[in-house]
Amino acid sequence: MSSLILGLALAAAPAGASAHPPEIEAHLAPLVGDWTRAGLEDSYRDQCVWYDRRAFVVCSLTDGRSGTRVEAIIGYSAEDRRYTYQNYANNGTGHNSHGYALGENGLVFVEDRMVEGKPARLTTSMIPQPDGRLRMTQERSVTGGSWQPVGEVYYIKRK
């Protein structure tokens, strides 16, 4: 019932109004842009745009080196009071994570999945940098073991 009420309230909002308050939007807005990675400008692109009324950020990633394509949706659930991240790739994989605000305008997501046949927990951080880059880091703990870094990349705006 609360979903129906929320849906009706959102439908009644003015067309130009944002779906979220400014403090929520401040954590989603840094993700919007036409991104690549240094040295991969000709083959790697992640285009992230606002979905209707700034309700979600929708990203389309293409990696010409591997042929990988990924569609992702990053948003915020007012009902659950947390950020959400979903992605689906052309290799048949899909991932769902929940997350929270990290600092002034970053995000951190937590996900459980199998890694080499073993249960693992992953954290993925998205941290806007003062120079305009977007830092992405990932760590994981397999079967409750110590946390290990998985990777770190910096996205840069395409020119």
pLDDT tens for residues 35-76? 999 999 999 999 999 999 999 999 999 999 999 999 999 999
Task: Return the pLDDT at 16.
Answer: 65
Question: Is the residue at 119 inside a domain?
Answer: yes
Helix (H) or strand (E) holding 3: helix 2-12
Categorize the per-residue pLDDT at 17 as very low, low, confident or very high, splitting at 50, 70 and 90. confident
Assess if residue 13 is contained within a domain.
Answer: no
How many folded domains does the chain comprise? 1
- Assess if residue 151 is contained within a domain: yes
Query: The whole model's pTM is what?
Result: 0.84
Q: How far, in Å, CA of 8 to CA of 18, rounded?
A: 15
Residue 9 has a pLDDT of 40
CA atoms within 13 A on the CB side of 80: 10
| Tokens matching residue 58 | 């929708």
CA gap 9, 24 in Å, rounded: 18
Q: How many angstroms separate the CA atoms of 141 and 79, rounded?
A: 29
Res. 1 pLDDT band, cuts 50 70 90: very low
Of the candidate ranges 17-21, 30-34, 55-59, 88-92, the one whose mean pLDDT is the lowest: 17-21
One-letter amino acid of 77: S
Given this model, what pLDDT does residue 152 score? 97
CATH number of residue 51's parent domain: 2.40.128.20
Domain that holds residue 95: 19-157
C-alpha distances (whole Å) from 138 to each of 21, 108, 109, 111, 135 are 28, 9, 9, 11, 10
* pLDDT confidence band for 18 (50 / 70 / 90): confident
Residue 86 covered by a domain:
yes
Cα R_g (the chain), whole angstroms: 17
Q: Domain for residue 133, yes or no?
A: yes
CA gap 63, 54 in Å, rounded:
26
pLDDT in tens, 72-83: 999 999 999 999
- Is residue 10 situated within a structural domain? no
7 band by pLDDT with thresholds 50, 70 and 90: very low
Strands (E), 17-147: 33-37, 44-50, 56-63, 68-77, 82-89, 94-102, 106-115, 118-128, 134-142
In a domain, 7, yes or no: no
Q: Look at residue 53 and tell me if it is in a domain.
A: yes
Contact 36, 155 (CB under 8 A): yes
